Structure 1
């Protein structure tokens, strides 16, 4: 029987380089560089969360599926009870029945495996050429050694077809409908929740613009929370301000919607399939901070608009279930594992 390995890359490995440190010293950022490389803490990453979810669902479907830890970063901040495998124990020589799934962030990591079928799992379209070697920028994932490509959302699949001219299978992300729950009694009216992980400068600019008219702006910024902690913050928030871009199919806005937040901000491309302007969210062009600030002020001043978007957002988020993801996973893997 085939064994499926999802490669968990060493996202937060310490790469202290003397040359880069000296450059940072000259620019006045020496201490910041040193702290980032030597004392960098591991944090939750949405793409890794999805890979763990896939492994768990595949096991429920009867497959042998495991996260394969490629370095020091494990990334299980979500309390998933699943057996891990380590590259030092598994090695790179696998059978023709086995399958490895590598992320587009490290697209060459899967190519080193011998014998196994190779799947490139693209979770952010921006990496489609940025993460390829200079000599490979005009090649497709198939050209560099993969057999199949799957993505986390339709926007990413469209980009693969557009930029590489190859097919991609969409395995749409889902959320746990039993955990990300709307609890209106916990909501703090006017509370705006945001994450600082991406485009912090944009978040700061939007905040400054909103505060010019609303000095009592109630903004809470979070980062590195466990899933349980994050759910509590979603449930207390009235509005979720999204500043992440580019994105594949981001989970936080979807999770926030299901917890009853009104979502405002940027789609990063991938969230456009569920963040629909003036229907389920208020959407601005990526990086258009003045427009996003305008939308925040509008929502804080218009309860009728806010409740209409909240209700529509909850309905939309309900369609993104783990059951749907599981069904698509089964259809994909039963196809490729049945081929010789």
Structure 2
């Protein structure tokens, strides 16, 4: 058989979870004997660890036995590649269905482009693609938490969050600083609790920060399977925030406090209660943290490893054995 080429047309400093997962899948396949390349013309990311085993290239030539794995970002030159005839297989690795829907391609349009298989990271997204687009062969490869990186450290009473998820737009304030302001206005006694904005950090720096934070404010928004909240769970952070649609795969009333994006004051009230309970060592916090860790443990690296080999083994089956 030929090679598997992951198309990853992003800048090296684009700190997207989807980039991390793409490289994880590529690494698993390369380690298992597949010939793999990652097409990233701007160069390999510097914020995640990538082994020398992976060929990160600025160009590629597609051969008839190759498998091209596209992101859901089908526009500009990526759309041109998708629309070009290709005798091998085209796979769409959809890590955000809402991006895909915004391009207004029907299931028939995607089939006409040559996409025969679709890979998603969660059940919620698999159901959505089947329902909205009616596409066949939707495979689930679950995201995973690297517990060698994400684990609890010495805890400090602070609130960590990813502010990039809800920036200011259309006259609305960016959500993270808005919630921080509301918390301090309504509950001035919380003003001494620091906020830790997880931005402009490497993956290892994020893991260190999460490991030491007592609370994580999840601002997930229109995602296939939000990975950062799971990493926070593994880091034994108390979760407050949004499941981002795809997080419905794992969000329960036992492992976190989940709200609608419209419930800003309710979130603020919850944060204040959490801070009070943590200062007074409430046993219910430990029960929630235990459930959160148990949830994160279901998303193991080994489960992802097996799913990657199973799904790509099925996709590549007709090309014959690997050399």
Within 5 Å, give how 1:6-155 maps onto structure 2.
Answer: 6-9=6-9, 11-12=10-11, 42-69=13-40, 71-72=41-42, 74-82=44-52, 83-88=54-59, 90-91=60-61, 93-95=62-64, 97-106=65-74, 108=79, 109-112=81-84, 114-132=86-104, 136-137=105-106, 139=108, 141-155=110-124
Deviations for 1:227-262, whole angstroms, at most 9, x for unmatched residues? Answer: 111111011100110112011112111111101111
Instruction: For residue 51 of structure 1, report the CA deviation from its aligned partner.
Output: 0.4
* Per-residue Cα deviation, 1:250-306 (whole angstroms, up to 9, x for no partner): 2111111101111110111111222212x0010001343222222212211223332
Q: Which residue of 1 aligns with 2:171?
A: none
Query: Residue 211 of structure 1 corresponds to which residue in structure 2?
Result: 184
Match of 1:199 in 2: 166
Give the paired residue count.
Answer: 300
Partners in 2 of 1:253 and 1:328 — Cα distance?
21
CA-CA distance at 1:177 after TM superposition: 2.0
* SS of structure 2 residue aligned to 1:245: strand
Query: 1:193 touches 1:221 (CA, 8 Å); kept in 2?
Result: yes
What TM-score do the two structures reach when normalised by structure 1?
Answer: 0.82
Residues 295-340 of structure 1 deviation map (CA, whole Å, 9 limit, x = unaligned): 2122112233322211110111011011111111111111121125
1:152 and 1:248 in contact (8 A); partners too: yes
Give the TM-score of the pair, scaled to structure 2. 0.87
Compared with structure 1, are the counterparts of its residues 80 and 74 closer, same or farther at alpha carbon in structure 2 (3 Å cutoff)?
closer
Q: How many Å separate the matches in 1 of 2:182 and 2:140?
A: 38
User: Which secondary structure does the structure 1 equivalent of 2:90 belong to?
Assistant: strand
| Cα 1:289–1:144 shift into 2, 3 Å | farther
1:298 to 273, 280, 284: 273
Secondary structure of the residue aligned to 1:244 is strand
Q: Secondary structure at the match of 1:298?
A: helix
Identify the match of residue 218 of structure 2 among 217, 242, 260: 242
Q: Distance in 2 between matches of 1:148 and 1:138?
A: 11
Segments of 5+ residues of structure 1 without an aligned counterpart are 13-40
- Equivalents in 2 of 1:314, 1:169: separation in Å? 26
SS at match of 1:191: strand
CA RMSD of aligned residues (A): 2.0
2 CA distance for matches of 1:81 and 1:325? Answer: 18
Cα deviation for residue 76 of structure 1 reads: 4.6
SS at match of 2:146: coil
Shift of 1:84: 2.5
